[in-house]
Structures are given as structure tokens and as C-alpha cells.
Structure 1
Amino acid sequence: MTPTPRPALRVPRRAPGAARRRTVASALALVLPALWVLSACVAMPTSGPVEVGDGEVSDAGPAVVPLADRPALDADPQGIVVGFLKASQAGFSRDPRRGGDFRAAREYLAGDARAAWKPRESVVVYPTTSSPTFTVVNESQVQVTLTVAARIDADGRYAEAATDAEESLTFDLVQDSSDQWRIAGLEDGVVLDESNFENLFSSASLYFLTPDDTDLVPETRWFPVRNIATSIVRELLEGPSPWLRDSVRSAIPEGVELKPETVPVDESDSTASVGLTEAAALTDAAERARMLAQIEASLAIPGVRAVEVTAGGVPLTASATDLRHGVDTDAVLEVVSGDTVVQLTNGELVPLLEPPDLGGRAVHDLARNERGNVRVARSDAGDLVRVGVGDAPTETILSGPGLLAPSVDRLSWTWTAYPGPAGLLVAVRADGQRADISAPWLAGRSVTAIRVSRDGARVAVLSTGSDGLALDVAGVVRDASGSPLQLGEPLGAGATLVDATELVWVDDATLGVLGRSGVATSAAYHLVPLSGQTRALPALEDAVAIAGGKGQRSLYVATSDGRLFWLPGVNASWSEVATGVRDPYFPG
């Protein structure tokens, strides 16, 4: 229920010390969770009419869904609002008998509101541990106040809310010709508690192409589980969000539509059938292969094992195309041990075949590209140095003072930033070629960390300003040669973070941050999805550096006394794997 658009889904900055509004909670608020009963085991529908805009999808198992009741006879205004909120949650159910399609919810609405209400316009998610409070403003108006965990817009874009975020919803009621109260005035959208949201919605990655057609770049969206394959393809055809639009492209020709307007999934063999209009066939073989790769990667969801695509009813086929996406499973963690660089292999520190020559210089915050032929570090003076390998010398390529820890992209550009409120980002190549990166939204902010994604299409930036800490991700706009020019408008992430010092990419849609949040009072490794809830991992005393890049089963933390810890999974415990080391890093 977010009537005011949020450009590029930028998460609002937190106001320090913002106080929560207080309302008088009615007795019903205490029992609201009990009213929203969940069915323990329900059968998946296997037949029924196909409606416009819907296409059934099988998934890993039956979802637990809320139950919806019709309005109780002679219910008072508050009872009508409570019943409506419950029934509107059930509207995302697969089963119309349980309130799917919002039929039951609309029975609580009066006159024009019944037809005008747009439930899919937005979703406000509130914590399961927090109950909404109700205030009876007057005989015909009820106000509902709830803590907000996240907001999802009509296109599935997810924005995590700050720890202290709240929202108030006002419902205006009238009595009908039978003296029954009904809701005549309300905002579009639905409210869901986190447990129901997790049961009724699922995340999916829409994949687009880097401009040089080497990588698939994901944009995570959240869709109702019901008809999720249809939602995915519809949004893929619409293209990327504004924050990413100038940094990627799509091989799907503009104007291509779904025909028919559904993506059914055959229950016998889990094949998703994507029908596109004739324009999809008007591409050459290479572009057709990239288009099919986008569609197939985007439909890699539970319940779909194969994808068939037609254009104007004619099957589309193409030779396989070599597009990268996901993590680099062959990436090796490197650390500094003494005065040399070593790698961690099978839990052992192993010398590199060609160890970088640190040249007797005191360097830290090492970084490298995936091939290992570009290696950089930061000197104690704050200069950026190229670390020599073999006969190449170690030399300064960008003078400080105080340059930030570097990050190397796949096109061999090293990214860093100067300290201070100017928000000046710089990229430099090993030969000294320099590019000053335009990012007007960083004006007046001090950048504290920067990290480029593996695909080179996105940059994550930590910054501080008068309104506190911000973690943003922006698309990289490059020229035809691949030189970075500017950053697009940012996507806010990690809204619950309150301070942070280290930043890495854990995978292609998740950041790792060393810092504190509303759920972790001491410094901890946080997993921050670009579209999802921040999660604090178990804290480690004296943690000073983190590493990530191979997914959530390869997370590392270094402590100030030279110990290296590994976390083999988000539900595991930290395990010490090495001592006498510092500066752990993966490529990037």
C-alpha cells in the first residue's frame, strides 16, 4: 500500500532517533495472529479453468495459505477491517475456494471500491513478531498501524525497510442498504506478515545481457507463487528496472509480447511453454541464442525443468551460447602470509606458482582480476600500486592520499575512491589510463567502500552523510571500448545497517558487509540481498576483514590477531582454518 512511487526503489535514509508513532491498540490486535490461521496441509489444484493473465505452475510442494472468510453478519467497522485484511492475504492463494483472486476480499468492499481496488499494486510486509494495531478514529473510520519489514511494488521490486519503519493505513466505511458495514475508501495493495509472504511469494532472477554479450546479469524480483512463470516472462519482456537499464541490454526484440498471455507448465514433464509474438523470430541465430538463454535462465525455478519457446506458433531453437552467470566456482581465496601471497587450497596454505612481488613495500587490501594478470594493492601512504608478477615491477599507478581499498573488474579496470564528501570515484588501468566516474547522487557523501560485481555491470558503494550510512548498488555505464563513464541511479539495500567497514560480493545477487545492524549490536558478517532482508551471521570478536565470491558456502573472516575463519553455510558455525595471515580476498 504505497501510493507514492519510489524512483529506482531507493530506500529512504533513516532519520537518527526517529520515534515510532503510538496508537491505542484494540483488544482485537492481541488476537489478530490467531485469526489468520494457516492450513497445515493442503492439496495443490490440478485442474480448473484458465483465466486471462494466469498460467499454472508446479513447484516443490504445496504452499501453506491463509484462510478467507466472508464478512460476518452485523460486524462492526473494526471487525470488517480485520476480516478484509485476512481475506486480502488469501487473495494470493492458488485456490479460489480459499479466497484466491481476491474474490472474498472484495466482498468487504462497497460500491466503486469493489471494482477500483488494485490488490497487486503493492505489498507491505510486516514482521511476524509484530501485530498491527487498530484505532477507531470515529464511527466510520478505522486506522491500522504496522511495523514495516519491506515493500514490494507491482512489478515485484523489493525494498527492505529501516528497522524503525512504520506505516498507517486508513479505511473509510459506509453502511449498505442492509445496514452492513463495508469499506468504501482504502489504498491499493495488500499487507502480509512475513510468514505468509514467504509462503505466497518467491524470488526470481530476471536475466539481461552485458553490452559485450559475455555475461548474464540478474535482477531479483518477487512474485506470487501462483502463476510465477507467467509473471517472470511478462517482466522479462518489459526489461530491466531504471537503475539497471543503461548498464545492460536484452536480446528480446522490443515490442515482443506473450501470446497466449500465459506460461503454462506441463505437470507431467515440468516443461514451461513460452509463446511469443512473431517479432521474436526476426533475429539472427546468435541473437536468438542469447534471447533463449535469457528466458531459460530466468525460468530456472522450482517446478520447471525445461523451457519451450515459440514465436507465432513456430518453435524457436538455437545453438548453445557461452554466457556466464552466477559465481566463479573455480575462484581461489588468497591471503597475505608474512611478506608473500599464498592461496587456501583444501584447508591448506599453498604457495602460488608465480607469487606477486610485494617489492618490500608495506601494502594491504590486495585485489586481482579473475585471470590474475592484474593485481593491485593499497600502500600505507594511501596510494594505489600495481603489484608486480614475474619480471613486472611493483609501482604506483594512482597517488593518494587515503585511497580506498581497490576492486578490479573483468575488463581490468581498478576501482577506488578518494576520501571526503566530494563523492569522487576513480577507475584506472594498469597502464595508468584513468577514468573519473560521474555519480551525482554521491555529492556531499563520503565513500567508505566500493566493490564491482563479477559481471562488471554493477558497483556496490558504502557511503556516509548527514543522514547516516547508505549501501547502494548502481549500474555501470561504459563506452563502446568498455571504459567506465558513470553510474546510474542507485538501488538502496541493507536498510537495517547502521555502520559498516568492509564490502564484498558474495554471489551475483548478494552482498557481504562487515558492520552492525538493528539485529546485530556488534560487528558481524551480514548477508545483504539486493532484493531481500539483511541477515546477520554469528559475530566474531576482533573481525577486521571479510571475503566472499563463491556463494554462501564460502564465507571468510580475518581477525586482528591474524586468524582466518570459514563459514561453510549460513546455518553453520565459524571454523578456524589458518593463523598468521591477513587480507583475505577473492577475485574482484
Structure 2
Amino acid sequence: MPDNGDLRDVESTPLQDTGVRVFAVPPAEGAGPGEIMQGFLEALTSDDPEYDTARKYLTSEAASAWRPERSTTVLANGPSITTDCVPGGREETNSATCVLTGTQVATVDAQQAYRPAGGPYRRKLHLTKNPENGQWRIDGLPDGVVMGKSDFQRNYRSVDKYYYASGTAVGATGQPAAVADPVFVRSKVDPMTQMVRSLLKGPTAWLGTVVRSSFPAGTALQKGVSGLAPDDQNKVTVPLNLKASRVAARTCSEMATQVLFTLRNLAPTLESVELRGAGGDRLCELNEEHAESAAWLGSARSPEYLYFLDGKRRLVRMPMRSTGTGAVAVPGPFGDGGRQLQSAAVSRDERTAAGVGNGGRSLYVSSLASGGSLGDPVLTSAGASPADRLTTPSWDARGDLWVADRDPHRPRLFVLEEGASEPEPVAVPHLSGRIEDARVAGDGVRIALVVAKGGKRSLFLGRIRRGGGDGQETAVDGLRSAAPDLEQVSAVSWAGGSRLLVVGQEQGGVQQMRYVQIDGSALDGPAPGALPGVKAIAASEDERAPLVAYSEDGVVRLPSGTQWQKIDKEGTAPVYPG
């Protein structure tokens, strides 16, 4: 460090986009069928917005008919051309057929929804030779694009768009609950405009039956809109085809909130959104603070405390941001040691708790306030052993309590409305196996289930259909595998709007802890640090909260950027609110 001399201004260097960009190369003069195919496949992995260069490898008729946006097929190692595409070795032949093969990993559909896939991939493409200029071009091909996994990861990124849980209100203010709907967009092709268009088109098919959008039907961006980006005030202006007279103030606030929550995935510093109508009139403007008041968003709600059971089987708590290891008993009957608890869950407003005691037989609900009484159990299991009785309960943001009974003679999933009503059995059609754990998302429309069958414990995601006043029962349907490569899932927790933290084992492997995207796609970034003998985990939808686990060392915590730290050697069953 210099200790003398003058001060001089240093001009700042503009931030550079360090991402690698790939530019497509048009077909070479006189290229043969094999070269045309190879060039076309490489052009599909470029950052060309409309695939204009890729279309140059097609005949004019095929270029007009081809719809690349219909789907993206992801292969393990990219497509292989299994024939040399030589037209039978006879130069006078003016047509050829090439076969693309590979092993499927996933597909992205026209709604940009990702779905894992397996099995062989095989497609035929037909080429023809123009008799006038002698150039080979593709004249027969399926819609969509195909590429290898590494190219897909470079070209696409997962982004959550947001809708509202149907028929769900949170708290006394009646806030709608925001629900994350992950989709994949091309990361270097005007991603903000892509995401707004995707948001306006509506939710993906799997989620669409349990969520709603505040945008009126037919809402779209004005013609020619592109390049949406924050200005120097960190505000995005979105021109819509709506007339101001069609949009009420509250509806407009909900619309702007959907846009803000969605685009904040791409621009974390985004502070406000302005919606403009068809005539250029301002419909409404909404900043981050008002957005979080307009809708309930789990990732924006920081838990006040971390909870676990101490050596006396009491429910204790410590401040979430505490760097110490001291915990104190919660107010009320769960903290006085009168019941030997096996597990517990705290409501998301941290005013009520549910505890499973009596060897897993009985579920109790009580206020977290001094002077409260426990009362009789609200649900009792007849299972013969603790492993055949009640699971750890789970709360959603509207205050409903979820728990499964593992009694082999009558396994069922229950919901208790606002944690106080009679337990209502929840139908789970097409469930094959017994529910070993159930973790409901804060939005109340998605639930993660650990299901045991044939010696395996698999993780499934389901959507919740609420029972109405017409006699319909609450049900969980649309079950889909969330971690198909894990055969022994031992613990799970929600860790964001669209991801889960899972502890499990692959076939013949060792226990591992990793994040899982709810659509089955791979997540960027490292997994949590290794921890032996994990029996339970707790993560928060607020990703700033440290991970907590119950392992061979008791209750331990993983603050960001550090190693696992011991909190309580005798502690068990850690949970965040939820």
C-alpha cells in the first residue's frame, strides 16, 4: 500500500458479457448431404433468434413449414448421423435419407415445460438435390429441434414464472398465494421478452388446473415488442394490448406482481414494473415492496425461528439468523415437556404448532402462546409400531395441516383445515405404495410425497385439488416422479419456489444430499456439503436461511460458505415453519 502520492481518477470499465455465443454458419457451396446435415445440427445450437441460418439448410417449402418452437429434444451426447447420407453411391440420384440417433434425456414442449425422458431417439430426415444449381437441401424433417445435453445447458436456462393458487387466500388480508411454474428459455435470445410472452400465454399443462392468472384472456405484448430490459432506474415497462377500461386497479396490481416475480429471476436488482395499455396509457406501476404485499410468496418470507426437539423431547427454537447454538423452549404446552414428541411442525405465521407424540400414535395442535393447553389428540393412528404410525406434519400458508398415517391396514393422507377442523381424508388416485412422508408447498397446491413400495422409497410430486361445497373431496393427482434416479429417499424438504432438498441413494450408491428441480431438470451449482447419517433435513423457501439437518452428530447447521456446525448433540427433528 502506498503511503504518499496524489489521487487520480480511474475510469470504470463497462461490464462485459462473458458468456460464450455461438454463431451459425450457412451451408457451403457444393456441400454434400452429410455436410448439410452436420451444418444444420450445429446451426440448431446457435443463438440465432429465429433459426434463420438453420433454415438456409432447408428447401424454401420446408423452411416455411418447419416449426422449431414446437419442442426441444435433449440427447445424452448429441445426435449421431448413423448413415453417411450418400445417395446410394449413384451421382445421378437426387435424393438421400439421413438417420439421426441418440439416447433421450428430456424434452421441452411447446409450453417450454421440461420433462425427463428415456429410451432411444431415431428420426429420418430427407434431402434433395436441386437440379438447377446442384445444391443439396433438407426437404423433409420433423418439427422442433434436437441437441446434446451440453449444448442444451449452454443454450437454455430454467426460469420460474408465477401464477396464483386457485381459490386460496392467505391471512386476514386475503392475499393470493404465488406459485412458481418453471420453464426453459433460450438464455441469450431476449430472455425477458420470452418470459413475458410465456407468462401471458398461461401456465404449463401440469400446473394449469390448480392455478389462475390475473391477465384477461387474450392479453399479449403489443406487436413488434422486443428487448424488454430494466432501465437505469431498474424498472421494466411492458406494453400490452389491453385497454385501460378493461383493467381494475387490484387486477392490474396482481398482473404487475406476476411480471415482477417472474422477471426478478432474470434481473435480481429489478425494483419495479410498469404496465402500459394499447394506447400507450399507463395501466399501473408496482414496486417490489407493494408486490410482496399484493401476493404471498414463500421465498420472500423469512422464518423468524428454527425449531427442533431437544433431548427432553420438547419443542425448542432459536433465531434463524443466530450464529450461536442456544435454543429455548417454545411458549405453550409443546415447550413444557409434558408430551414426549417424535416430530413437530410450526405454522408459517409461527403462531401454532402441531406435534406427533405417544410413540407416533397421536397428533396434537396447540397455540405457541403461554398458558395454552394441549387437549385431546386431533388424529390417532392404530399402527402397531412407530414406523407404521403418523408422519411428520406439514403446514401450508393458508393454515391447513397435512399428515399421513402409515398404518399398513389403512394407510391414508389427511388434511385439517386451518389445523382445527376434523381430519379430512385426501384421495390420492393412482398411488402405488404407502406414503412415508408428505411435505406441502407453502402455496398449498403442490405436495412432495415419499412413497414406499417393493423395498424402494421414491419421491413424487402431486398437485392438490381442493374439495368444494358440492361434495367433492380434496385430492392429490397428477403424480410424477421428482427424482427418478434415487431409489431410497430418506428425507425431503422444500427449498425454494420450484426446488426440493432431497436425501437419498441411487442403486448401489451411498447416501447423498442434493437439490432437485420439481420438473426433473438438473440444477446448476454445487450440492450441500457431505454429511454422514442424515435422518432429517430442514430447508426454507427463503434460500437465505441456512440448511439444518439431524444426523449422527445431532442437529447441525450449514451457514452459507462454511462447513456443517453442531447445534445440539441431543437434538432431533429440525424444522422451519411449514
Task: State the TM-score, normalized to the length of structure 2.
Answer: 0.79
Deviations 1:120-178 (A, max 9, x none): 21122345xx45443118743333333444321222212234xx654333323333324
Tell me how far 1:498 sits from its aligned partner: 2.6
Deviations 1:378-409 (A, max 9, x none): 33644241154533125421121223222122
Alignment match, 2:386: none
Pick aligned residue for 2:401 from 414, 418, 426:
414
Alpha-carbon distance in 1 for matches of 2:229, 2:32: 46
Map of 1:83-102 to 2, 5 A cutoff? 83-90=39-46, 93=47, 99-102=48-51
Name the aligned partner's letter for residue 315 of structure 1.
Answer: R
Q: How many residues align?
A: 515
Answer yes or no: is the 8 Å Cα contact 1:60–1:302 preserved in 2: no
Alignment match, 2:305: 332
Alpha-carbon distance in 2 for matches of 1:383, 1:60: 60
Q: Which moved more, 1:407-416 or 1:540-549?
A: 407-416
Alignment match, 2:317: 343
Alignment match, 1:363: 341
Alignment match, 1:150: 106
Tell me how far 1:437 sits from its aligned partner: 1.8
Alpha-carbon distance in 2 for matches of 1:280, 1:489: 38
Deviations 1:285-325 (A, max 9, x none): 22222222222222224455543211222101267451221
Answer yes or no: is the 8 Å Cα contact 1:244–1:488 preserved in 2: no
| CA pair 267-61 structure 1, distance change in 2 beyond 3 A | farther
| CA pair 196-254 structure 1, distance change in 2 beyond 3 A | same
Tell me how far 1:86 sits from its aligned partner: 0.4
1:136 aligns with 2:83: yes
Tell me how far 1:360 sits from its aligned partner: 4.4
Q: SS where residue 156 of structure 1 aligns?
A: coil
| CA pair 516-289 structure 1, distance change in 2 beyond 3 A | same
Answer yes or no: is the 8 Å Cα contact 2:534–2:549 preserved in 1: yes
Name the aligned partner's letter for residue 317 of structure 2.
Answer: Q
Pick aligned residue for 2:572 from 548, 560, 582:
582
Alignment match, 2:3: none
Tell me how far 1:369 sits from its aligned partner: 0.5
Tell me how far 1:500 sits from its aligned partner: 0.6
Name the aligned partner's letter for residue 228 of structure 1.
Answer: P
1:188 aligns with 2:143: yes
Tell me how far 1:528 sits from its aligned partner: 0.9
Alpha-carbon distance in 2 for matches of 1:418, 1:279: 52
Pick aligned residue for 1:397 from 364, 378, 384:
378
Alignment match, 1:308: 274
Q: SS where residue 211 of structure 2 aligns?
A: coil
Name the aligned partner's letter for residue 352 of structure 1.
Answer: A
Alignment match, 1:258: 221
Answer yes or no: is the 8 Å Cα contact 2:256–2:273 preserved in 1: no
Tell me how far 1:421 sits from its aligned partner: 10
Alpha-carbon distance in 2 for matches of 1:141, 1:565: 60
Q: Which sections of structure 2, spanning at least 5 residues, go unmatched?
A: 1-13, 88-95, 170-174, 384-388
| CA pair 484-412 structure 1, distance change in 2 beyond 3 A | farther
Tell me how far 1:76 sits from its aligned partner: 4.0
Alignment match, 2:251: 287
1:170 aligns with 2:124: yes
| CA pair 111-258 structure 1, distance change in 2 beyond 3 A | closer
Name the aligned partner's letter for residue 285 of structure 1.
Answer: A
Answer yes or no: is the 8 Å Cα contact 2:103–2:119 preserved in 1: yes
Alignment match, 1:457: 445
Q: Which moved more, 1:227-236 or 1:351-360?
A: 351-360
Pick aligned residue for 2:460 from 466, 471, 486:
471
Alpha-carbon distance in 2 for matches of 1:306, 1:404: 42
* Structure showing greater Rg: 2
Name the aligned partner's letter for residue 363 of structure 2.
Answer: V
Q: Which sections of structure 1, spanning at least 5 residues, go unmatched?
A: 1-57, 94-98
Map of 1:238-249 to 2, 5 A cutoff? 238-249=201-212
Q: SS where residue 349 of structure 1 aligns?
A: coil
Q: SS where residue 521 of structure 1 aligns?
A: coil
Q: Which moved more, 1:266-275 or 1:217-226?
A: 266-275
Answer yes or no: is the 8 Å Cα contact 2:451–2:459 preserved in 1: yes
| CA pair 344-238 structure 1, distance change in 2 beyond 3 A | same
1:502 aligns with 2:505: no
Identity of aligned residues (%): 23
Answer yes or no: is the 8 Å Cα contact 1:205–1:220 preserved in 2: yes
Alpha-carbon distance in 1 for matches of 2:562, 2:81: 40
Answer yes or no: is the 8 Å Cα contact 1:66–1:86 preserved in 2: no
Tell me how far 1:478 sits from its aligned partner: 5.0
Alpha-carbon distance in 2 for matches of 1:191, 1:468: 33
Alpha-carbon distance in 1 for matches of 2:103, 2:181: 27
| CA pair 301-468 structure 1, distance change in 2 beyond 3 A | closer
Name the aligned partner's letter for residue 209 of structure 1.
Answer: Y
Q: Which moved more, 1:446-455 or 1:368-377?
A: 368-377
Answer yes or no: is the 8 Å Cα contact 1:493–1:530 preserved in 2: yes
Pick aligned residue for 1:77 from 29, 33, 55:
33
| CA pair 289-305 structure 1, distance change in 2 beyond 3 A | closer
| CA pair 305-369 structure 1, distance change in 2 beyond 3 A | closer
Alpha-carbon distance in 2 for matches of 1:386, 1:517: 36
1:425 aligns with 2:413: yes
Tell me how far 1:432 sits from its aligned partner: 4.7
Task: State the TM-score, normalized to the length of structure 1.
Answer: 0.78
Q: SS where residue 84 of structure 1 aligns?
A: helix
Alpha-carbon distance in 1 for matches of 2:568, 2:359: 28
Answer yes or no: is the 8 Å Cα contact 2:256–2:274 preserved in 1: no
Answer yes or no: is the 8 Å Cα contact 1:385–1:398 preserved in 2: yes
Q: Which moved more, 1:399-408 or 1:352-361?
A: 352-361
1:377 aligns with 2:351: no
Answer yes or no: is the 8 Å Cα contact 1:75–1:181 preserved in 2: yes
Alpha-carbon distance in 2 for matches of 1:301, 1:61: 18
Pick aligned residue for 2:68 from 83, 94, 119:
119
Alignment match, 1:228: 191
Answer yes or no: is the 8 Å Cα contact 2:228–2:238 preserved in 1: no
| CA pair 553-122 structure 1, distance change in 2 beyond 3 A | farther
Alpha-carbon distance in 2 for matches of 1:307, 1:62: 27
Name the aligned partner's letter for residue 77 of structure 1.
Answer: P
Answer yes or no: is the 8 Å Cα contact 1:173–1:184 preserved in 2: yes
Answer yes or no: is the 8 Å Cα contact 2:244–2:281 preserved in 1: no
Per chain length, whose mean CA-contact separation is higher, i.e. which structure has more relative contact order (CA < 8 Å, sep 6+)?
1
Alignment match, 2:501: 512
Alpha-carbon distance in 2 for matches of 1:60, 1:447: 50
Answer yes or no: is the 8 Å Cα contact 1:407–1:416 preserved in 2: yes
Q: SS where residue 39 of structure 2 aligns?
A: helix
Q: Which moved more, 1:223-232 or 1:534-543?
A: 534-543
Name the aligned partner's letter for residue 325 of structure 2.
Answer: E
Q: SS where residue 501 of structure 1 aligns?
A: strand
Answer yes or no: is the 8 Å Cα contact 1:557–1:566 preserved in 2: yes
1:548 aligns with 2:539: yes
| CA pair 294-478 structure 1, distance change in 2 beyond 3 A | farther
Alignment match, 1:317: 284
